[in-house]
Amino acid sequence: MMQTLLDVENLWVKFPTRQGVFDAVRGVSFTLGKERLGIVGESGSGKSMTGRAILRLIRPPGIVEADHVKLDGVDLLRKSEKEMRAVRGQRISMVMQDPKFSLNPVMTIGAQIIEAYRLHNSASKTDAHTKAVEMLEAVSIRNPERVMRAYPHEMSGGMGQRIMIAMMLIPNPEILIADEPTSALDVSVQRQVLDIMDKLVKERGMGLIFISHDLNLVADFCDRVLIMYAGRIVEVCDADKLHEAKHPYTQGLLNSLPRLDAPRDRLEVLKRDPEWSKAQSVSGRV
Amino acid sequence: MAEQTLRAWLLTDTPSSRRHAKLSALYQGWLSFRSNTMAMVGLGILIALMLIAAAAPLLSPHDPFVQDLGNRLAPLGTEGHILGTDSLGRDILSRLIYGARITLYIVALVALIAPVVGLLVGTVSGYVGGWVDIVLMRITDIFLAFPRLVLALAFVAALGAGIENAVIAISLTAWPPYARIARAETLTIRSSDYISAIQLQGAGGFRIITKHIWPLCISSLIVRVTLDMAGIILAAAGLGFLGLGAQPPSPEWGAMISEGRRFILDHWWVATMPGLAIFTVSLAFNLLGDGLRDVLDPKAGE
Amino acid sequence: MSMLQIEKLNVWFGRDRDRVDAVIDATFDVAEGQSFGLVGESGSGKSTILRAIVGLAPTWSGHIAVAGAPIGKRRPKSFYKQVQMVFQDPYASLHPRHSVDAVLGETLQLHGFTDIDARVVKLLDDVGLGQKFRFRYPHQLSGGQRQRVAIARALAPEPELLLLDEPTSALDVSVQAEILNLLADLRQEHNLTYLMVSHDLSVVGHMCDRLAVMKDGEVVETMDVAALRAMKAEHPYSQHLLQASV
Give the domain ranges of chain C.
2-91+162-245
β-strand pairing of A207-212 with A175-179: parallel
Task: Find, among A186, A190, A231, the residue nearest to A210 by Cα.
Answer: A190
The answer to whether C109 faces chain B, any CB pair under 8 Å, is no
Residue C188, pLDDT score: 92
Mean pLDDT of chain B: 85
Residue A279, pLDDT score: 81
Residue A258, pLDDT score: 86
The answer to whether C203 faces chain A, any CB pair under 8 Å, is yes
Residue A51, pLDDT score: 92
Task: Find, among B149, B156, B166, the residue nearest to B102 by Cα.
Answer: B166
The CATH homologous superfamily to which domain A89-203 belongs is: P-loop containing nucleotide triphosphate hydrolases (3.40.50.300)
Q: What share of chain A is helix, strand, coil (3-state, %, to 5)?
A: 40, 25, 35
Residue A225, pLDDT score: 93
What would the mean pLDDT of C107-121 be, rounded to a whole number?
92
Q: How does pLDDT run across A264-279, given as a tens digit for each residue?
A: 888 888 888 888 878 8
Structural class in CATH, domain A1-86+223-286: alpha beta
Q: B196 to chain C, minimum CA–CA distance in Å?
A: 8
> Do A1-86+223-286 and A89-203 share a fold?
yes
Structural class in CATH, domain C2-91+162-245: alpha beta
Containing domain of residue B79, as a range? Answer: 36-301
Taking CA atoms, what residue in B is nearest to C153?
A: B197
Q: How does pLDDT run across A168-183, given as a tens digit for each residue?
A: 888 889 999 999 988 8
Q: Please, which residues 122-161 of chain C have a Cβ atom closer than 8 Å to chain B?
A: 132-133, 135-137, 139-140, 150, 153, 157
Contact flag B198-C97 (C-beta cutoff 8 Å) = no
| Residue B139 belongs to some domain of the structure | yes
| Residue B15 belongs to some domain of the structure | no
Task: Find, among A38, A55, A91, the residue nearest to A216 by Cα.
Answer: A38
Give the domain ranges of chain A.
1-86+223-286, 89-203
- Residues with pLDDT less than 50, chain B: 300-302
| Residue B19 belongs to some domain of the structure | no
CA atoms within 13 A on the CB side of C115: 5
- Could you tell me which residues of chain B have a Cβ less than 8 Å from any Cβ in chain C? 13-18, 20-21, 25, 192-194, 196-203, 211-212, 215-216, 298, 301-302
Alpha carbon distances (Å) from B219 to A113, B42, B211, B213, C91: 41, 18, 14, 11, 20
Task: Find, among B259, B261, B230, B219, the residue nearest to B95 by Cα.
Answer: B259
- Residues with pLDDT less than 70, chain A: 1-2
Residue B301, pLDDT score: 40
Partners of residue B193 in chain C, C-beta under 8 Å:
87-89, 92-93
Please check whether residue C153 is in contact with residue C104, taking contact to mean a CB–CB distance below 8 angstroms.
yes
Number of structural domains in chain B: 1
CATH number of the domain residue B162 falls in: 1.10.3720.10
The amino acid at residue C223 is M
Partners of residue C54 in chain B, C-beta under 8 Å:
200
Residue B44, pLDDT score: 93
Partners of residue C172 in chain A, C-beta under 8 Å:
42-43, 213
Write the burial class of residue A196 (CB in 10 Å: 0-12 exposed, 13-18 middle, 19+ buried).
buried
Residue B302, pLDDT score: 36
Contact flag C55-B203 (C-beta cutoff 8 Å) = no
Confidence of residue C194 (pLDDT cuts 50, 70, 90): very high
Residue C106, pLDDT score: 93
Residue C174: CB partners within 8 Å, gap ≥ 6?
A42, A252, A253, A256, A269, A270
Contact flag C80-B201 (C-beta cutoff 8 Å) = yes
Partners of residue C55 in chain B, C-beta under 8 Å:
199-200
Strands of the A207-212 sheet, one edge to the other = A92-95, A175-179, A207-212, A36-40, A224-229, A232-238
Strands of the C193-198 sheet, one edge to the other = C83-86, C161-165, C193-198, C35-40, C210-215, C218-224
| Residue B156 belongs to some domain of the structure | yes
Q: How does pLDDT run across C208-223, given as a tens digit for each residue?
A: 999 999 988 899 999 9
Q: C47 to chain B, minimum CA–CA distance in Å?
A: 13
Query: What was the ipTM of the complex prediction?
Result: 0.87
